[in-house]
Amino acid sequence: MKQIGTKNLSFTQRLQIETLFNAKISKQEIAKIVGINIRTLYYELKKGRYEHLVKQNSFWYGEKFKKEIRYSAQIAQDRYIQVCQNKGRNLKIGKDFALVGYIEKRVNEEKISPCAILGEIKYKNLPFTKISKTTLYRYIHIGIFPNIQLAKRKKEYKKVTIKRAPKGTSIEKRPLEIKARNTFGHWEMDCICGSNRACWLVLSERLTRKEIIFQMKDQKASSVIHCLNVLERRFGAMFKQVFKTITVDNGSEFSDFKGLEKSSFGRNSRRTFVFYCHPYCSCERGTNERLNREIRRLVPKGTALNKFIPEEVQKVEDWVNNYPREVLGYATSGELFEKELQKLYC
C-alpha cells in the first residue's frame, strides 16, 4: 500500500485509527492498514490521547476504577482544526481593542446585529479599523469575539390551502405603486400576542420601516379601532397623508372593516384605505413580519405582555426605530420618518 507520509489525516482515517487502537491492534499493523508511516501514527495518537476510567469489580475490594489511555478521533480532529485556525496572516483588526469592545457591547447589551454595527460605523465614519462583513462573521465563528454568541434560526414551511375570501377589500385591488415602496404613507398592521389575553398592535411603514406599537388589553376588533382613533387624534388633519393605506391579515381583530376605515371625526368621513392579504399569506405583509421578528428579540414568545408599563413599550419601539438598517443605507427608521414628515409640513 502506498504510504501517505506526513500528509494531514482525514477525519475518516482518524476514526479508523480509533477503532483499531481501542481493539488492541499493534501500532505497526494500524499504520499499515491506514496507509501511514509509524512516526505519523505516533504523532496522531499523542494528539488524540485522553484518559478513560474503566470500572472494575473485585470480590475483596468492591467497585474500583482504573485509568486507561485511549485515542479519540474527535479530540484529534478538534485540535487539528484549532491549529489550522491559528495559522495564516495577522488579523485585519490588529490591536484595535476599542472595536472589539464596541461590537461586543452593542451586540450583547443593545441587541444590534454585527452586520448592522459595521454599517453604522461606516455611515457615521467612526474611528475604528474598517473590516468587511464576511471577515467579522469569520472572526466571530473562530472565537476572536468570545463574548458574542449568534443565534441560529430554523425555518419551517407548511403547505396550506386557502379556503375563504378576505373580509374586506382584497390586496389585489391595492395600487401597484405601493408594492414598489417609492411613496410614503403606506402601512402594514398586525398583533403580537403573549402568554395571556393582552397583545401589542404593531404598525410598520413600508418606505421608512417606521414602527408604532400600541398596548392592548385584548385582541378584539374594538381594541384595534380604539388604537387607530388615538393615532388619528395624535396626527390630526395630517393623518390621511401619513396613513394613506393600511394592509392587514384576516385575523378576527381586523374583522370590522368599516370601523377601521371610518374616521372618528365625522360620521361619513374615511380616514384611510384598508386592504386585506390573502389568507395564510403573511409574506404580503413582509415589512411587518420582518420587524416583528426584531421585537421578539426583546420580547420572546410566551412573555406576559400585560406586565409591561407604557415606558417599557416605548423603549422597545424606540429600539426598533433607532436600529441602523442595511436596507436603508444604515440610516435609522426614525430619521427617515421625520424627514418624510417634514416634507408634508413644508
Helix, strand, coil percentages for the chain (3-state, nearest 5): 45, 15, 40
For residue 128, being part of any structural domain is answered with yes
Largest CA distance in the chain: 98
Asked if residue 229 and residue 193 are part of one domain, the reply reads: yes
Name the nearest CA neighbour of 199 among 185, 209, 189. Answer: 189
**With pLDDT > 70 as the criterion, what percentage of the chain qualifies?**
88
For residue 310, being part of any structural domain is answered with yes
For residue 55, being part of any structural domain is answered with yes
For residue 156, being part of any structural domain is answered with no
Asked if residue 335 and residue 215 are part of one domain, the reply reads: yes
pLDDT digits (tens, 9 = 90+) for 167-207: 689 999 999 999 989 999 999 999 999 888 889 999 999 99
Contact (Cβ atoms closer than 8 angstroms) between residue 322 and residue 334: yes
> What total number of domains does the chain contain?
3
Asked if residue 311 and residue 180 are part of one domain, the reply reads: yes
Name the nearest CA neighbour of 322 among 33, 8, 145, 111. Answer: 111
CA distance 278 to 160: 12
The amino acid at residue 278 is H
How, if at all, do strands 62-71 and 49-58 pair?
antiparallel
- Highest-confidence segment of 36-40, 87-91, 121-125, 188-192: 188-192
For residue 334, being part of any structural domain is answered with yes
Residue 154 predicted with pLDDT over 70: no
CA distance 102 to 119: 13
Asked if residue 127 and residue 45 are part of one domain, the reply reads: no
For residue 4, being part of any structural domain is answered with no
For residue 3, being part of any structural domain is answered with no
DSSP summary character for residue 345: H
Residue 85: what pLDDT?
67
Residue 3: what pLDDT?
41
Asked if residue 280 and residue 234 are part of one domain, the reply reads: yes
Residue 122 predicted with pLDDT over 70: yes
Residue 5: what pLDDT?
41
Structural domain that includes position 43? 11-85
314 phi/psi in degrees, rounded to 5: -65, -35
Asked if residue 306 and residue 192 are part of one domain, the reply reads: yes
- The sign of the torsion formed by the CA atoms of 35, 38, 41, 45 equals positive
Measured from the Cβ of residue 28, the count of other Cβ atoms closer than 10 Å reads 10
Asked if residue 207 and residue 134 are part of one domain, the reply reads: no
CA distance 257 to 71: 70
Question: Which region holds residue 167: left if phi is over 0, alpha if psi is between -120 and 50, else beta?
Answer: alpha
Residue 249 predicted with pLDDT over 80: yes
Mean pLDDT for the chain overall: 85
Average pLDDT over residues 121-127: 88
Contact (Cβ atoms closer than 8 angstroms) between residue 207 and residue 333: no
Query: Full-prediction pTM beyond 0.75?
Result: no
For residue 150, being part of any structural domain is answered with no
Task: Please state which of the ranges 58-62, 122-126, 244-248 shows the lowest mean pLDDT.
Answer: 58-62
Residue 58 predicted with pLDDT over 60: no
Asked if residue 132 and residue 202 are part of one domain, the reply reads: no
Contact (Cβ atoms closer than 8 angstroms) between residue 239 and residue 271: yes
Residue 307 predicted with pLDDT over 70: yes
Residue 86: what pLDDT?
65
The CATH number of residue 284's host domain is: 3.30.420.10
Asked if residue 334 and residue 187 are part of one domain, the reply reads: yes
